[in-house]
Amino acid sequence: MTTRDAPDIERQLMGGGTYRSLGEQQLSPAEERFERGRRTVGLFAAPAVALIFFALPMSIPPSQQVLGGLLLGVIVLWVTEAVPIPVGGLIGVGLVVVLGVAEADDVLAPFGSSTVFTFIGAFILAQAMLKHGLARRFAFRVLSLPGVGRSTTRVIIAFGVITCLLSAFVSNTATVAMLLPTALGILAVIAKLMQDKGLVQPGFDPTRLRVGAALMLMLAYGASVGGLLTPVGSPPNLIGRGLIEEATGERISFAAWMAMAAPVCAIMFVVLAVVLLLLNRPEIKKIEGVEAYVSAERAKLGRFSRAERNTLIAFVTTVSLWIFPGVVAVVAGTDSGIYDTVSNRLDEGVVAVLGASLLFLLPTSWRQREFTLNWSDAARIDWGTIVLFGTGIIFGALLSSTGLAKTIGTSSAGALGLSGVFLITAFAVVLAIIVSETTSNTASAAVVVPIIIPVAVAAGVNPLVPALAATFAASFGFMLPVSTPQNAIVYGSGVVPITTMIRSGISFDVLGALIILLLLPLMVAAVGLGG
């Protein structure tokens, strides 16, 4: 293998960093037959499922029934990838307006969500890291940590720990977007070593490696797990906590939340590592000789270039501003006026685009007016993933505004005859996970928690535990790219097939639900909440 092969593999993995549909990925003949059949089924099944749902005799408002049918049809398109996943979402959004579920301006308004701008800014930063080699430098730095570079399992777990800790204070989306280039760089190194050892055929597609899927899914799912650790770790936490405090009058402090969540997150992480490594067993376990290789490659990189330094400045500035509200929350508390001011003004989406703007202001050659990044570089970011998540936000907003989510929740609770804290908590967890699979986690918390609180009160149960369980479960949703922004980001890399994400996601959904159901009530009691 020549020295040019590693960059070639890296370009295959990072090629533009954009969403790639099945037609743009290299598949084996057997995979091609399966995917062709799956896509064909989806083309016919999606409209059939929607039409059947439209025709069912249901005593719900027409707008809710139409939205439900369209959402089911879109889910079929997403699962089968009959059309590129971003396009499937756009088809659904268009039909929502055409069929009169809501006005166009109201439907499209969520595309202005702060999360969309977080995507754009973070992706531009990632593009600069790729262009100037900073991602490759970070990848070799992670691999050079003592003992890490000797095992693919250690690499995957180490990356998961870093992701969890960062996402406790930094947005899950931002954490994954920041670390994605480094993960792809590590995968490029592993792919090169596998080819050197003759473990893969010449001309293999590095995006099809199981070790790559395990690494990417650890990045996405680890961020969701770490986001549960603090109240500011993810928007569902703040939404759920606010609704619970309003309903019960009991304040959940930052420290109490962390004390309650830490054991839950720790056990979830162990289970996550086991699930991902069993279902996506790496093709290579020991990677002997990698330390010498990494040392040699780091030496070749030489000193930081001006472009790398500029990229690092923009990166560190952005991350610092993302973290700062979390630091203020720890020092002053989330109920303080200074926290409200800082968190409102340092909005994650605004910080992301301002940080990315530095790349167009920091010069690499002032004499020639050359800057760290130009617009043609920025135009190559993952616009498909941005569109994909934007459509997910839209469907989440529509579920809430049409009342369909509330209808689903209240009718289910009545039909199941829920009573007792255990049954209501189980219902809360299952409902939150189901809703979060098809909408954003934020929408899931905003929709499900208000349903669970009156259900618990009507049954004579303290709503604290069921509502907290719904809040935690709202951060789940691991099956589909549209379920969370971080899922969408790693899926956009082209390294995780949709079937792999579904198989791994549903396994962790089930096990995670059991952990929440069994462990969370114990931790709530242990820290003295709801007493």
Reference 56, options 69, 43, 70; nearest CA is 69
Q: Where residue 19 falls among pLDDT bands split at 50, 70, 90?
A: very low
Higher local confidence (pLDDT), 100 or 16: 100
Is residue 471 scored above 60 in pLDDT?
Answer: yes
Strands 370-371 and 363-365: antiparallel
Q: Where residue 12 falls among pLDDT bands split at 50, 70, 90?
A: low
Task: Please give the C-alpha separations between residue 84 and each of 48, 349, 356, 375, 510, in angstroms, as whole numbers.
Answer: 19, 26, 28, 25, 28
What does the pLDDT read at residue 18? 46
What does the pLDDT read at residue 394? 83
- Rounded to an integer, what distance in angstroms lies between the CA atom of residue 391 and that of residue 385? 10
Q: CB–CB of 163/218 below 8 Å? A: yes
- Rounded to an integer, what distance in angstroms lies between the CA atom of residue 419 and that of residue 436? 24
What does the pLDDT read at residue 302? 79
Reference 118, options 52, 191, 174, 50; nearest CA is 174
What does the pLDDT read at residue 2? 42
Q: Which of 58-72, 194-208, 307-321, 374-388 has the lowest mean pLDDT?
A: 194-208
On whether residue 146 sits in a domain, the answer given is yes
**Which domain range does residue 188 map to?**
114-303
Q: Which one-letter amino acid corresponds to residue 284?
A: I
What integer is the mean pLDDT of 455-469?
85
- Rounded to an integer, what distance in angstroms lies between the CA atom of residue 318 and that of residue 30? 44
Q: What is the pLDDT of residues 187-201, one digit of tens each?
A: 887 887 777 777 766
Reference 136, options 348, 359, 305; nearest CA is 305
Q: CB–CB of 481/497 below 8 Å? A: no
What integer is the mean pLDDT of 51-69?
91
How many Cβ atoms are within 10 Å of 300's Cβ, its own excluded? 8
What does the pLDDT read at residue 331? 83
What does the pLDDT read at residue 17? 44
Contacts of residue 110, Cβ cutoff 8 Å, sequence gap at least 6: 390, 393, 394, 396, 397
What does the pLDDT read at residue 4? 40
On whether residue 396 sits in a domain, the answer given is no
What does the pLDDT read at residue 276? 95
Angle between helices 85-98 and 62-80 (to 10 degrees): 160
| Distance from chain centroid for Cα 367 | 42
Q: What is the pLDDT of residues 145-187, one digit of tens each?
A: 787 777 889 889 988 888 888 888 777 887 888 788 778 877 8
Instruction: Label residue 459 exposed, middle or buried (CB < 10 Å: 0-12, 13-18, 19+).
Output: middle
Q: Where residue 16 falls among pLDDT bands split at 50, 70, 90?
A: very low
What does the pLDDT read at residue 203? 62
What does the pLDDT read at residue 104? 92
Task: Spell 6-30 as b/e; 16+ CB within 10 A means b.
Answer: beebbebbbbebbbbebeeeebeee
Is residue 376 scored above 70 in pLDDT?
Answer: yes
Higher local confidence (pLDDT), 169 or 525: 525
C-alpha Rg value of the chain to the nearest Å: 23
Tokens of 393: 């936000």
Q: Where residue 523 falls among pLDDT bands split at 50, 70, 90?
A: very high
How many Cβ atoms are within 10 Å of 345's Cβ, its own excluded? 10
Distance spanning both ends of the chain, measured CA to CA: 65
What integer is the mean pLDDT of 204-209?
74
On whether residue 131 sits in a domain, the answer given is yes
Is residue 235 scored above 60 in pLDDT?
Answer: yes
Q: Where residue 45 falls among pLDDT bands split at 50, 70, 90?
A: very high
Q: What is the pLDDT of residues 408-430, one digit of tens each?
A: 666 766 676 777 888 899 999 99
SS3 363: strand
What does the pLDDT read at residue 117? 84
Which residues make beta-bridge pairs with 151?
Answer: 286
Our count of domains for the chain comes to: 1
Q: Which one-letter amino acid corresponds to residue 206?
A: P
C-alpha torsion 503→507→508→512, nearest 10: 160
Q: Where residue 325 falls among pLDDT bands split at 50, 70, 90?
A: confident
Percent of the chain clearing pLDDT 70 (strictly above): 88
What does the pLDDT read at residue 3? 39
From its phi and psi, is residue 302 left (phi > 0), alpha (psi between -120 and 50) or beta? left
- Rounded to an integer, what distance in angstroms lies between the CA atom of residue 117 and that of residue 112? 8
Query: What's the mean pLDDT when you consider all of the chain?
Result: 82
Task: Spell 56-72 as b/e; 16+ CB within 10 A means b.
Answer: eeeebeebbbbbbbbbb
On whether residue 252 sits in a domain, the answer given is yes
Which residues make beta-bridge pairs with 370?
Answer: 365
Q: Which of 322-336, 416-430, 450-464 has the highest mean pLDDT?
A: 416-430
Q: What is the pLDDT of residues 258-314, one digit of tens each?
A: 889 999 999 999 999 999 999 999 887 877 656 766 777 778 777 888 999 999 999
Percent of the chain clearing pLDDT 90 (strictly above): 25
Higher local confidence (pLDDT), 238 or 55: 55
Q: What is the pLDDT of residues 25-38, one digit of tens each?
A: 555 576 678 778 88
Query: What predicted TM-score, i.e. pTM, was given to this entire model?
Result: 0.69
How many Cβ atoms are within 10 Å of 370's Cβ, its own excluded? 12
Tokens of 303: 């000193």
How many Cβ atoms are within 10 Å of 155's Cβ, its own excluded? 27
Q: What is the 3-state secondary structure (H, E, C) of 2-26?
A: CCCHHHHHHHHHHHHHCCCCHHHCC
Q: Which of 358-362, 427-431, 442-446 has the lowest mean pLDDT?
A: 442-446
What does the pLDDT read at residue 192? 78
Tokens of 188: 């490029």
Which residues make beta-bridge pairs with 371?
Answer: 363
- Rounded to an integer, what distance in angstroms lies between the CA atom of residue 135 and that of residue 247? 46
